[in-house]
Structure 1
Amino acid sequence: MPIAMSDPLPTKRQRRHKRKPPLSATEVRFCVLWVDKKNATQCYIDAGFPEKPNRVATAKAASELLKKPDISAFIRNLQTAAADAAKATIEVIAQGLARSANKDLRKLYDANGCIKPPHEWPDELAAVIEGVETEELYEWVERPHPDTGKMARARELIGYVRKVKTTNRTEAQKTLAAWRRMIGTDAAVQENKSAAPLVIERGPAHIPPPDDLEAPADAPA
Structure 2
Amino acid sequence: MASLTGKQARFVDEYLVDLNATRAAIRAGYSEKTAQEQSSRLLSNVMVQDALSKAQKARSARTQITQDRVVQEIARLGLSDIRKLFDDAGRLLQPHEWDDDTAAAVASIEVDQRKDPGPDGDRYTVTKIKAWDKNSALEKLMKHLGLYERDNEQKQIIVNIRDDLDD
Structure with higher helix content: 2
How many Å apart are 1:164 and its aligned residue? Answer: 0.7
Aligned residues of 1:35 and 1:79 also touching (Cα < 8 A): no
How many residue pairs align between the two structures? 117
1:108 and 2:73 equivalent? no
Structure 2 equivalent of residue 56 of structure 1: none
User: Structure 1 28/164 Cα, relative in aligned 2: closer, same or farther at 3 Å?
Assistant: same
Identify, as 1 or 2, the structure richer in strand.
1
> What is residue 129 of structure 2 aligned with on the other side?
164
CA contact (8 A) 2:110 2:129 kept: yes
CA distance 1:34–1:170, shift in 2 (3 Å): closer
Runs ≥4 in structure 1, deviation > 4 angstroms? 33-37, 75-79
Q: By how many angstroms is 1:81 displaced?
A: 4.4
* Aligned partner of residue 95 in structure 1, secondary structure: helix
| Residue 131 (1) aligns with residue 108 (2) | yes
Deviations 1:38-83 (A, max 9, x none): xxxxxxxx99xxxxxxxxxxxxxxxxxxxxxxxx9xx978744423
Question: Under a length normalisation based on structure 1, what TM-score does the superposition of the two structures give?
Answer: 0.41
Q: Taking CA–CA contacts closer than 8 Å with sequence separation of 6 or more, which of the two structures ends up with the larger relative contact order?
A: 1
Q: Residues 82-121 of structure 1: matches in 2 within 5 Å?
A: 82-85=56-59, 88-121=65-98
SS in 2 for 1:156: coil
Single out whichever of 108-117 and 164-173 deviates more from structure 2: 108-117
Task: Indicate the percent of aligned positions where both proteins have the same amino acid.
Answer: 24
Unaligned runs of 5+ in 1: 1-25, 38-45, 48-71, 143-154, 185-221
Larger radius of gyration: 1
Residues 32 and 78, structure 1, Cα contact 8 Å, conserved in 2: no
Q: 1:115 to 1:77 in 2, by over 3 A?
A: same
Aligned alpha-carbon RMSD (Å): 4.0
Q: TM-score, normalised by structure 2?
A: 0.52
Deviation at 1:161, TM superposition (A): 2.0
